[in-house]
Amino acid sequence: MAYGLENLIEDCQKALADGASKAALGEVCTAMANVLKNQSFVEQHFGTHLPIGRSTLYHDPKLDFYIYAHIPDGAILSPPHDHASAWAAYGQAVDHTRMSDWIIPEGEILPKPTRTYLMQPGSAGFYDVGELHAIDMPASSRFLRITGTDIDVLPCKYYDEVDTRKSIAAHL
Ligand SMILES: [Fe+2]
C-alpha cells in the first residue's frame, strides 16, 4: 500500500505526541514529503478536477493540528509574515513555490530576507512559532499545509509595507 493520508495522520500524531519541537516538526515534514510522493494522493486532493479553495483533510482533536490541501485562486505573493502562536509546515504538491525566510534585525522594525529557496513537488519545510516567511507562487501551484492549531483565527502579523520581490532581489 502506498503511503496515504492515514499514514500521514498517524506519523504526525506520533511526531507531535510530546510537543512540537523542531525535531518533531522535521518528522512532520518527512511525513509530508512521503505522502506527496504518492501520485494518487496528489491527484485526489490537488487534481485539476477539484474546485479552488482550501480543504481540511484532517483535524486532530487532541493535538489540535490541521492538515489542509490548498488550491489557490490565482498566483500568491505574500509579504513576510509570522503565524502568531502557531507553527506551520508547507509541502509542495503541484508546480513550485519560491519561499523566503525573513528575520527582523536587532534594533530594526522591518524584516529582511535571509534565504530564498525553491520548493518543488515532494519537498516540505516548516516555520516554527515566531519565524517569518514570504511566499511567491504561480497560479498553478498547489500545496499541503499542516498547522499547529487553526491559524485563521490568530492575529498573524503581515509586513505589508515590505516590497517582497524587491527586497529579495536586493538581498540576492
Ligand atoms: Fe505562512
So what's the pLDDT on residue 112?
A: 96
Beta-sheet strands, E only, within the chain:
53-59, 66-71, 76-81, 88-94, 97-103, 112-119, 124-127, 132-137, 142-147
Residue 141: pLDDT band by 50, 70, 90 thresholds? very high
* Residue 106 alpha carbon to ligand 1 centre in Å: 22
Residue 172: which pLDDT band, with cuts at 50, 70 and 90? low
pLDDT tens digits, 23-61? 999 999 999 999 999 999 999 999 999 999 999 999 999
Contact call for residues 92 and 120 (beta carbons, < 8 A): yes
pLDDT band at 171 (very low <50, low <70, confident <90, very high): confident
What pTM value is reported for the model? 0.95
Q: Which domain holds residue 62?
A: 5-171
**Distance from Cα 88 to the centre of ligand 1, integer Å:** 7
Mean pLDDT confidence for 125-147:
97
What's the total number of domains in the chain? 1
CATH of the domain at 102: 2.60.120.10
Task: Output the CA 126–ligand 1 centroid distance in Å.
Answer: 9
Q: What is the mean pLDDT of the chain?
A: 96
Q: If you measure from the C-alpha of residue 82 to the centroid of ligand 1, how many angstroms do you get, rounded to a whole number?
A: 6
